[in-house]
Amino acid sequence: MTDYSRRMSLFRRGMLDSVPIVMGYVPACITFGLVGKSLSLGNWEVFLLSALVYAGASQFIGAKLLAAGTLAPIILLLTLIINLRYGFISTSFSQRINRQSGLWSKAMVGFGLTEEVYAISMISRRNGERKEKLSTAYLLGLELPPYAVTLLSTWTGIILAQYIPEHILPALNTSLYALLIALIVPQLRGSKRSIVICISAAASSWLLEPYLGASTVLVSMMIGAWAGGRTSLKKTNGREAA
């Protein structure tokens, strides 16, 4: 196989793996378009929050802050705090990518690195290719469709803002949680450490959410990962993922 066709097949595999993410993002981004409009932001402001920030829940917070006319330095500081989790996610991720890849490809991969992309790529790695680095071609294939549908669905939401009954949307948004659960549950089988991580992260997130709001994930993911490190390091072999 030539280098080109090898990369194309990796790219296609990435796109295939991205299907569940895409299904989660479509309703979420339509909702974002609707919510943005209901906060009476301009069409382009709503769209650019998706296109440039591209950070899930923190977009909603950003939209609310913008609509409330919060001062720019405060908005930027809050953006930094809320999205600090990406720093940790990316640090963890950086050990799995090809370090020799160029600046430009690292920039593209970095831009598209959402929680869901991170989870899917880390888990697909566990399926028999533990040693292998994730190739740039695969990652771009995995990241491109979710970003493309984010743009399309946000715009769709902006346009639909006049027609859609808003009360039906939360039900559609559960698709993102179904994706999360489908990623979590298979990891819990036969691994005491995974169960400890899951329960401590979920419990701390639940308890802290009323106080920390959007920054909760940052704190509770540290608690979960730390608690997992405290449990016996005896390797369990049941950590296969779907």
Partner 1 sequence: MTILLIAAMGIVTFLLRFTPLLLAKKVPIEGKSSGFLDNLPLAVLSSLTIPGIFQVDAETPWVGIAAGLTAVLLVCIRKVPLFLVIVASTLAALLVKVI
Residues 110-169 that bind partner 1 (CB under 8 A): 110-111, 113, 115, 118-119, 122-123, 167-168
Check binding of 55 to partner 1 (CB under 8 A): yes
Handedness of CA 169, 172, 175, 181 (dihedral sign): positive
Q: Tell me the site size for partner 1, rule CB under 8 A.
A: 95
With CB under 8 A as the contact rule, the residue among 32, 60, 93, 147 that binds partner 1 is 93
Segment interacting with partner 1, rule: CB under 8 A, options 2-10, 32-40, 45-53, 140-148: 45-53
Residue with tokens 């006049």: 162
Determine which residue in the list 132, 166, 185, 190 makes contact with partner 1, applying CB under 8 A.
185
Residue of 148, 178, 213, 236 that binds partner 1 (CB under 8 A): 178
Closer residue to partner 1, CB minimum distance, 7 or 133? 133
Within 13 A of 3's CA, how many CA atoms are on the CB side?
1
Closer residue to partner 1 (CB): 7 or 125: 125
The closest of 122, 56, 120, 124 to 94, measured between CA atoms, is 122
Complete DSSP assignment for 61-118:
HHHHHHHTT--HHHHHHHHHHHTHHHHHHHHHHHTTB-TTS-HHHHHHHHHT--HHHH
How far apart CA 39 and CA 77 sit, in angstroms, is 21
Query: Does the footprint of partner 1 cover residue 68 (CB under 8 A)?
Result: no
The reply on whether position 86 binds partner 1 by CB under 8 A is: yes
Amino acid at 56: G
SS (H, E, C) 123-154: HHHHCCCCCCCECHHHHHHHHHHHHHHHHHHH
Give the interface segment with partner 1, choosing from 4-12, 96-104, 141-149, 150-158 (CB under 8 A).
Answer: 96-104
Q: Which is nearer to partner 1, 91 or 162 (CB)?
A: 91
Q: Measured from the CB of residue 4, what is the shortest distance to partner 1 in angstroms?
A: 24
Residues 7-26 that bind partner 1 (CB under 8 A): 19-20, 23-24
Smaller CB distance to partner 1: residue 6 or 230?
Answer: 230
| Sites for partner 1 among residues 201-240 (CB under 8 A) | 201-206, 209, 216-217, 220-226, 228-229, 233
Smallest separation, CB 2 to partner 1 (Å): 27
- Closer CB to partner 1, 159 or 196, in the complex: 196
| CA atoms of 169 and 64, how far apart (whole Å) | 18
Residue-by-residue DSSP string for 197-219: HHHHHHHHHHHHHHHHGGGHHHH
Cα 47 from Cα 234, distance rounded (Å): 48
CB of 6 to partner 1, least distance (A): 23
